[in-house]
Amino acid sequence: MNTNTIDIWQTIRTETAAAAEEEPMLASFLHLTVLRHSSLDRVLAFHLSSKLSSSIMDARALYEVFMRVLEKYPSITDAVKADITACYERDPACDEYCLPLLYYKGFHAIQAHRINHHLWLDGRKTLAYFLQNRSSEIFGVDIHPAAQFGQGIMIDHGTGVVIGETAVLGDDISLLHGVTLGGSGKESGDRHPKVGNGVMIGANASVLGNIRIGDGAKIGAGSVVVRDVEAHTTVVGVPAKPVGKLQNMPSADMDQNIMFNI
């Protein structure tokens, strides 16, 4: 996904300024959240720290933690831009780049996880577990801090998504609400799915165990996947079975229809 064709940060500022002028009741919120900040990193750190703070975790302290992570790992910002672009390009309800940053809890959950994952890698596991719990409470999305994410990921709506410890997600993936990337029992070790690039997983689908979902695959809504899925293949059912081959990347098309052509 190419995020260099548009200056996302400046576009977000322009859109937010127009929204503040259009809706005076939200002008103070929009200034506080976006317009007073000098970078996308600062907006993200402020917005997430405000949402994830609690009576026992001060927002200012969280903001400083998040900023240190974002400054140490600039690759996170590249991923954030790719995720914003994914929402804009794939979600027909997203007609401005500022919307995911301001309002989409699926997007917020991904970015909280990106920061949390680096806290985990830095050995701050107690804080990472705390923030996983807070993110689950606030966003309705439960992602283990060890899970690995690529770029250009969209979690549409977000509610009820669960992603396990050893899950690995590639680039340009779309997940609908209620998706589980889980284990298949109480085994330890590497026990969660590996999801290739360009995959779309439909609402309330469960992908279980240390299995591989090939690039460009489509998982139908409500399916239960317990075996590897070949690249560019549609699977549906309980348990899921192949029903068709795909030419395009389903994560970009977001086409929920199932073509039976195997």
Last residue of a domain, one of 141, 167, 201: 141
127, 202: one domain: no
Each residue of 112-170: pLDDT tens digit? 999 999 999 999 999 999 999 999 999 999 999 999 999 999 999 999 999 999 999 99
Q: How many residues does the chain have?
A: 262
Average pLDDT of span 27-53: 97
Sign of the CA dihedral 255, 140, 82, 88?
A: positive
* Domains: count for the chain: 2
- In terms of domains, do 123 and 87 share one? yes
Kindly state whether residues 180 and 259 are assigned to the same domain. Answer: yes
Residue 54 and residue 178 share a domain: no
Last residue of a domain, one of 126, 141, 156: 141
Statement to judge: residues 126 and 164 lie in one domain = no
**pLDDT tens, 60-117?**
999 999 999 999 999 999 999 999 999 999 999 999 999 999 999 999 999 999 999 9
In which domain, by residue range, is 114 found?
1-141
For residues 181-210, b (16+ Cβ closer than 10 Å) or e, as one string?
bbbeeeeeeebbbbbbbbbbbbbebbbbbb
Q: Which helix (H) or strand (E) holds 212?
A: strand 212-213
- Measured CA angle at 175 (ends 170, 176), to 5 deg: 180
State whether 3 and 133 are in the same domain: yes
Mean per-residue pLDDT, 10-20: 97
Are 96 and 225 contained in the same domain? no
Final residue belonging to a domain, choices 109, 141, 173? 141
Can you list the alpha helix ranges (DSSP code H) found in the chain? 8-22, 27-30, 40-52, 59-72, 75-90, 98-103, 105-121, 125-139, 250-253
Please give the pLDDT value at position 2: 46
- How many C-beta atoms lie closer than 10 Å to residue 229's C-beta? 25
